[in-house]
Amino acid sequence: MLKKLQELKNKYDSLIKELSNPDVIQDQNRFADVSREQKYLEPIMQSYKKYKALMENIEDDESILKGNDKELKEIVKEELDDLHLQREKLEEKIKIELIPRDPNDDKNTIVEIRGGAGGDEAALFAADLFRMYSRYSERQKWKLKVLSSSPIGLGGFKEITFMLKGDGAYGQLKYESGVHRVQRVPTTETQGRVHTSAASVAVLPEADKVEVDIQDKDIRIDTFRASGAGGQHVNKTESAIRITHAPTGIVVSCQDESSQHKNKAKALMILASRVLQDKIDKQKIERDKDRKSQISTGDRSAKIRTYNFPQGRVTDHRINYTTHQLQSIMDGDLYDIIEQLKIADNIEKLKNL
C-alpha cells in the first residue's frame, strides 16, 4: 500500500508541475484532463499525508517505550492504543480510495426512461422520475438537455431521453440503471386502490469518437413523420429519424426537432452512447463471470428500487436500504441513497481485489 501511495505521490507532483506549464495551460483539453486527474488524486494525497504523520507519531511513542521513564511510558501506552486504532481506520479509508476508478465516471451521461407495466400510470411515473433526476441535476449544477421524448396527453412519457452535462454525471447516476417500481393510488383510480407500475431507467456514458467509431456501412437510417400525443401528426414532412445499428441490433429514434439533420445528430449521439454501454456491459460480463455483482450499473431488466407512496417509503433492493424520505427523494435529494450504493460497491470491490 505504501509503495502504491508513493507512486501516486510522484504522479501527483508531476501533475502539479504540468498545471503550471504554459504549453499545458494553452491546451484547454490537456489542461482539463490534468486538472481532473489532480482533483481525483487530491483526497488520496491528503490521506497519505495524515498516514505519514500518524506513523511518525507511532514511531516516536514506540521509541519512548524503549526508554527508562516509567511515568512517561504509561502515558505513551494509552496514546499508542488510540494511534493504532486511528491507523487501522485510516488504512481502511485509503484502501477504498485506492480502488481503481471507472474511467467513464467523469463523463457526461445520457439517461433513458421508459414507462413499463401499468399503462398511463407507468407513463406518469416515468415523468416523475424525469423530474426527480432534473431536480437532482439542478442541485449538482449540471446542464440538462432533452434529446428525445414521447409524451402522452396526461403529462406523462412513454419514454424520454436526456443528456446531463456536468462533472462526474455518469459516475453519480450509473447505479440508477434498472427497473424502478411505484406503488400508489393512481389519479384515475376512483376506489382508492393501490396500483403497482414500473418504469425502466438506462444510464449511459457519453461516447467519445475514439471509443466508438460507428461506420456508415453498419447503420440503416429510416425517416418517418413525427407524431405527438394521441397520434396526431405534428408536421407534414418526414423529419423523424430511426437509426438501426446492424452489429448490435440497437435501434434509436428521434423526432423532437423540426429538421432531419438535427434529429439525425441527436440519434447518432444516443446510438454512440448505447453502443459504448453495450461494449462496457460485455466487458463486465467477461470480467465478472466468476462472481455475481451485487450492484448493477447496466441491467435495465433488474428491479432495483420500489417507491411506496402510501407508506412514504423508498427501498433499494440491491443493498436492503430503506428510507422514509420519499418526498425529498422525488424532489431530487438522491445524495444519501447514491452514497450508500457507492459504499456497497466499493466494499464488494475490496473483497475481490
Question: Which grid coordinates are listed for 305?
Answer: 428500487
Same domain, 196 and 75: no
> Which range marks the domain in which residue 137 is found?
109-352
| Residue 194 and residue 332 in one domain | yes
Asked, for residue 303, whether it belongs to a domain, the answer is yes
Please check whether residue 103 lies inside any domain of the structure. Answer: no
**How many domains in the chain?**
2
Residue 175 DSSP symbol: G
Q: What is the DSSP string of 201-264?
A: EEEEEPPPTTT----GGGEEEEEE--B-GGG-BS-SS--EEEEEETTTTEEEEE-SSSSHHHHH
If asked whether residues 91 and 234 sit together in one domain, one would say no
Regarding whether 92 and 41 lie in a shared domain, the answer is yes
On whether residue 230 sits in a domain, the answer given is yes
- Phi-psi domain of 296 (left: phi exceeds 0; alpha: psi -120 through 50; beta: other): beta
Element containing residue 199 per DSSP (H, E) = strand 195-205
Q: Which residues of 257-278 are buried (b: 16+ CB within 10 A; e: fewer)?
A: beebeebbebbbbbbbbbbbbb
Residue 61 and residue 124 share a domain: no
In a domain, 246, yes or no: yes
Tell me, yes or no, whether 43 and 169 share the same domain.
Answer: no
Domain end position, chosen among 97, 130, 162: 97
Looking at residue 305, which CATH number applies to its domain?
Answer: 3.30.70.1660
**DSSP H or E run through 346:** helix 335-352
Are residue 87 and residue 116 in the same domain, yes or no?
no
Task: Answer with the one of 69, 97, 125 that is the final residue of a domain.
Answer: 97
Residue 184 lies in a domain: yes
Q: Are residues 58 and 90 in the same domain?
A: yes
Let me know if residue 104 belongs to a domain: no
Question: Are residues 284 and 295 in contact, defined by beta-carbon separation less than 8 angstroms?
Answer: no
Q: Which residue has the cell 413523420?
A: 225
Give the C-alpha separation, 108 to 168, whole Å.
Answer: 7
Clarify whether residues 174 and 313 are in a common domain. yes
Mapped onto helix, strand or coil, the DSSP state of residue 289 is: coil
- Among 97, 125, 151, identify where a domain stops: 97
Whether residue 345 is contained in a domain is answered as yes
Residue 322 maps to a domain: yes
Write out the chain's pLDDT in tens, 353 residues: 788 888 889 999 999 999 999 998 888 888 888 888 888 899 899 999 999 999 999 998 888 888 887 888 888 888 888 899 999 999 888 888 888 778 888 889 999 999 988 888 999 999 999 999 999 999 999 999 998 888 987 889 999 999 999 988 999 999 999 999 999 998 767 678 899 999 999 999 988 766 677 888 888 988 887 765 544 444 555 678 888 998 888 998 888 777 888 888 888 888 888 888 888 877 666 555 544 454 554 455 679 999 999 999 999 999 999 999 999 999 999 999 999 998 888 888 877 76
- pTM for the whole thing? 0.70
Spatial distance between the Cα atoms of 338 and 321, rounded to a whole number of angstroms? 11
Residues 226, 122: one domain? yes
Nearest to 334 by CA among 353, 307, 298, 352: 307
Mutual angle of helices 70-97 and 335-352, in 10-degree steps = 100
- Whether the Cβ atoms of residue 158 and residue 121 lie closer than 8 Å to each other: no
202 pairs with which residues across the strands? 112
For 231, residues 6+ apart whose C-beta sits below 8 A from its C-beta are none
Report the candidate in 117, 187, 217, 180 with the shortest Cα–Cα distance to residue 315: 180
Find residue 229's DSSP bridge partners.
Answer: none
Same-domain pairing of 75 and 137: no
Q: 231 and 211: one domain? A: yes
Q: Give the span between the Cα atoms of 25 and 23, in whole angstroms.
A: 5
